[in-house]
Amino acid sequence: MSSGPPSESMSALRRLLIPVLLCALQASLCNAACAEVDSDTEAVAGQGFKLGCISCKMRGEVEGTATVDWFFQPKGEADFVHIYTYEDKNAMILDERFEDRVDWNGSKNTEDLQDASIYILNVTFNDTGTYRCLFNRILTYPFYEFSTKASKLVHLTVVAKATRGMASIVSEVMMYVSIIGLQLWLLVEMIYCYRKIAAAGDEALRESAAEYLAIASESKDNCAGVQVAE
């Protein structure tokens, strides 16, 4: 009973500490969550595709706002065309080729954008080319503002069907080759061993028979008693 008060105060401490710890953990997770993962570069015709573009804010503690522009350079053409802009949580498609085909897939419910990914619906072969996303970020310090730009390129190829990586095909073939090869080898080894054992058995039989005869004839010569016992 004397342990009552300490454990009570312990649990009170826990009630206080755990939320604090969770908050701290969450905050650090949120700050650490931004990683500049490269976009996929192979889309399948007729399906949707997420064009990834992430630019992490280097100074997590500084307030910032960003707007994003996407540009597209079709394969074989020289110039980039402005196709999409995202500003103040509003998206606008600026090119008729992408009309009704682009959805925002980036940071949601914030103007402090770090993920500017867009989602192209119903990809066509005409979407092949190079995409550039451009972040215009304004960092707000107590006494001044600092504007930065960051841009990334994504070289997109459109294929009729998802192609598998060469490495995965090679490793699958190697797997079958090695399974079949091992089994054949096992079979050959078994036949070989069986024959050897059979041959050795015959030999042993012949040898023991010869030995037996030799002993028998020897004993016939030397010991008449054995012959009697036989």
Ligand X SMILES: *[C@@H]1O[C@H](CO)[C@@H](O)[C@H](O)[C@H]1NC(C)=O
Burial of 143 (0-12, 13-18, 19+ CB in 10 A): exposed
Using CB under 6 A as the binding criterion, the count of chain residues that bind ligand X stands at: 7
Q: Which of the stretches 53-61, 118-126, 144-152, 165-173 binds ligand X when contact is defined by CB under 6 A?
A: 118-126
Mode of pairing for the β-strands spanning 63-74 and 129-140: antiparallel
To the nearest whole angstrom, how small is the minimum distance from the Cβ of residue 114 to ligand X? 14
The whole-angstrom separation of Cα 46 and Cα 125 is 9
Q: Between 126 and 227, whose beta carbon lies closer to ligand X?
A: 126
DSSP-assigned letters across all residues of 9-45: HHHHHHHHHHHHHHHHHHHHHHHHT---PPPP-EEET
Q: Cβ distance 140 to 62 under 8 Å?
A: yes
41 near ligand X, rule: CB under 6 A: no
Q: In degrees rounded to 5, what are phi and psi of residue 32?
A: -80, -10
Q: Does 119 bind ligand X (CB under 6 A)?
A: yes
Interaction between residue 95 and ligand X (CB under 6 A): no
Binding mask 126-155 for ligand X (x = CB under 6 A): x-----------------------------
Q: Least separation, in Å, of the C-beta of 121 and ligand X?
A: 7
In degrees and rounded to multiples of 5, residue 128 shows phi and psi of -60, 135
Among 28, 122, 183, 208, binds ligand X (CB under 6 A): 122
Q: Contact letters (x/-) for ligand X, 46-75, by CB under 6 A?
A: x-----------------------------
Question: C-beta of 16: minimal distance to ligand X in Å?
Answer: 36
**Is residue 34 a contact partner of residue 114, using CB atoms and an 8 Å limit?**
yes
Q: Report the interface residues with ligand X, using CB under 6 A.
A: 46, 103, 105, 119, 122, 124, 126
